[in-house]
Structure 1
Amino acid sequence: MSSPAEPSSSVERTSHPPIKVFKGHTRFIESIAYFPDGRHIASGSWDKTIRIWNVETEQQDGECLEHESEVKAIAIAPDGGKIAGRVVNGLIVWDVERRKRVRRIKIDGDFEHGVSALIVTFSPDGRCIATASSVSTSIQLWDVDTGSPVREIEHHVDTVWCVSFSPDGTRIAAGSSGGSFRVLDVSTGGAVVGPTQGHADVVESLVYSPDSRLLVTASNDRSIRAWDAATGREVGRPMLLPRSAILRIAISADGKRIASTSPDKTVRLWNMETRLQVGDAFACGAPDRIQSVEFSPNGLFVISGGSRDVYLWDTAAVLDSGLSVTPTSIGTRSNLVT
Structure 2
Amino acid sequence: MLRNGQVFAGYTVEGLLGRGGMGSVYLARHPRLPRRIALKLLNQELFADSEIRARFEREADLAAQLDHANIVTVFDRGIEDEQLWISMQYIDGVDGDSIDVRALEPAQAVRIIAETARALDFAHRRGVLHRDVKPANILVERSDDPGPARVLLTDFGIARLLNDTGRLTRTGTFVATLAYASPELLSGANIGHQTDQYSLACSLFRLLTGTGPFDATNPVALIQGHMQSPPPLLSAIRPGLPHELDAILVRAMAKRVEDRYGSCGEFADAAVAAFAGPVSVPAPPPAPSPPTVVLPTPPGPQLWFPTPAPARALPAVPNRLAMTGKSGLGFGVCVRAIAFDPGGRVLTSIDSVDKVRRWDLTTDATTTKSLAGSHDPIAVAAFFPDGRQLVTGGGGTAQVWDSTTGRPADAAFVGHNRWVWAVACSRDGGRVATASADQTVRIWAVATGAQIGDAAALRTSQAAGALAFSPDGRYLACGSSADEVRLLDTHTCRIVWSSRSTDAVPANSAVVSVAFSPDGRVVAAGSSDGSLRFWDLPRGRLIGSAAGEHHKTIHSLAFRADGTLLATGSADKTVRFWDPTTGKEIGQALTALSPIWSVAFSPDGGSLAVAAGKSVQVWK
TM-score between both structures, scaled by the size of structure 1: 0.78
CA shift in 2, pair 1:260/1:155, >3 Å? farther
Partner-residue secondary structure (3-state), 2:588: coil
Counterpart mapping for 1:62-211 below 5 A: 62-66=368-372, 67-103=374-410, 104-111=412-419, 118-133=421-436, 135-151=437-453, 152=455, 153-194=457-498, 196=500, 197-200=503-506, 201-211=509-519
Alignment of 1:1-338 (within 5 A): 16=321, 18-19=323-324, 20-66=326-372, 67-103=374-410, 104-111=412-419, 118-133=421-436, 135-151=437-453, 152=455, 153-194=457-498, 196=500, 197-200=503-506, 201-230=509-538, 232-235=540-543, 237-242=544-549, 244-245=551-552, 246-286=554-594, 289-314=595-620
Aligned in 2, Cα 1:119/1:283: closer, same or farther, shift over 3 Å?
same
Instruction: Find the residue that maps to 1:23 and give its secondary structure.
Output: coil
State the distance in 1 between where 2:443 and 2:542 align.
Answer: 28
- Partners of 1:128 and 1:3 lie apart in 2 by 34
Q: Which amino acid aligns with 1:164?
A: A
Q: Deviation per CA, 1:143-173, whole angstroms, max 9, x where unpaired?
A: 1112122233515241101111111111111
Q: CA deviation at 1:96?
A: 4.1
**Rg larger in structure:** 2
CA-to-aligned-CA distance 1:251-285 (integer Å, 9 cap, x gap) = 11111111011222111112334533233211232
For residue 319 of structure 1, what is the aligned residue in structure 2? none
The separation in 1 between residues aligned to 2:556 and 2:535, in whole angstroms, is: 17
Task: Look up the SS of the partner of 1:21 in the other structure.
Answer: coil
d(CA) in 2 for partners of 1:109, 1:221:
28
For residues 40-72 of structure 1, the C-alpha deviation after alignment (integer angstroms, 9 at most, x for no partner) is: 222222223232222233432353334223222
How far did residue 25 of structure 1 move? 1.6
Tell me the secondary structure at the aligned position of residue 278 of structure 1: strand
Higher relative contact order (CA 8 A, sep 6+): 1
Please tell me the residue identity of whatever aligns with 2:442: Q
Q: Which has the higher helix share?
A: 2
Counterparts of 1:312 and 1:262, CA distance in 2: 16
Task: Tell me how large the CA RMSD over aligned residues is.
Answer: 2.6
Change (3 A) 1:222 1:210: same
Identity %: 29
Contact 1:165–1:172 (8 Å) recurs in 2: yes
In the alignment, the residues of structure 1 paired with residue 470 and residue 617 of structure 2 have an alpha-carbon distance, to the nearest angstrom, of 28
Distance 2:528 2:404 in 1: 38
8 Å contact kept, 1:175–1:204: yes
Alpha-carbon shift at residue 219 of structure 1 (Å) = 1.5
Distance 1:264 1:63 in 2: 30
Deviations 1:297-317 (A, max 9, x none): 111111121211112111xxx
Q: CA deviation at 1:178?
A: 0.5
Task: Give the direction of change, closer, same or farther, for the CA distance of 1:290–1:270 in structure 2 (3 Å limit).
Answer: same
Amino acid across the alignment from 2:484: S
Task: Please tell me whether the aligned partners of residues 567 and 578 of structure 2 are also in contact (alpha carbons under 8 angstroms).
Answer: yes
Which has the larger displacement, 91-100 or 173-182?
Answer: 91-100
Q: Which runs of 4+ in 1 moved over 6 A?
A: 1-5
Is the alpha carbon distance of 1:195 and 1:257 closer, same or farther for their aligned partners in structure 2, counting shifts above 3 Å?
A: closer
The separation in 2 between residues aligned to 1:280 and 1:217, in whole angstroms, is 21
1:16 positional shift = 4.9
| Cα distance in 2, alignment partners of residues 202 and 94 from structure 1 | 29
- Structure 2 residue runs of 5 or longer lacking an equivalent are 1-314
Contact 1:2 1:278 in 2 (8 A): no
Structure with more strand by fraction: 1
Report which stretch shifted further, 211-220 or 265-274: 265-274
Tell me the distance in 1 between the aligned counterparts of 2:619 and 2:415: 36
Distance 1:97 1:81 in 2: 6
Q: Deviation of residue 215 (structure 1)?
A: 1.2
Change (3 A) 1:110 1:18: farther
Question: In structure 2, do the counterparts of structure 1 residues 180 and 218 end up closer, same or farther at CA, with 3 Å as the change threshold?
Answer: same
Deviation at 1:218, TM superposition (A): 1.5
Q: What corresponds to 2:304 in structure 1?
A: none
Q: CA 1:58/1:73 → structure 2, altered by over 3 Å: closer, same or farther?
A: farther
Does the aligned pair in 2 maintain the 1:84–1:91 contact within 8 Å?
yes
- Counterpart CA distance in 2 for 1:232 and 1:155 is 24
TM-score (norm 2): 0.44
The structure-2 alpha-carbon separation of the partners of 1:198 and 1:22, relative to structure 1 and needing over 3 Å to count, comes to farther
CA distance in 2, matches of 1:2, 1:192: 35
Equivalent in the alignment of 1:334: none
Matching residue's letter, 2:563: G
Q: Which runs of 5+ in 1 are unaligned?
A: 6-14, 315-338
Q: Secondary structure at 1:126's aligned position in 2? A: coil
Equivalent pairs counted in the alignment come to 296
Name whichever of 144-153 and 97-106 sits farther off: 97-106
Q: The residue matched to 1:210 in structure 2 has which SS? A: coil
Q: Distance in 1 between matches of 2:571 and 2:529?
A: 13
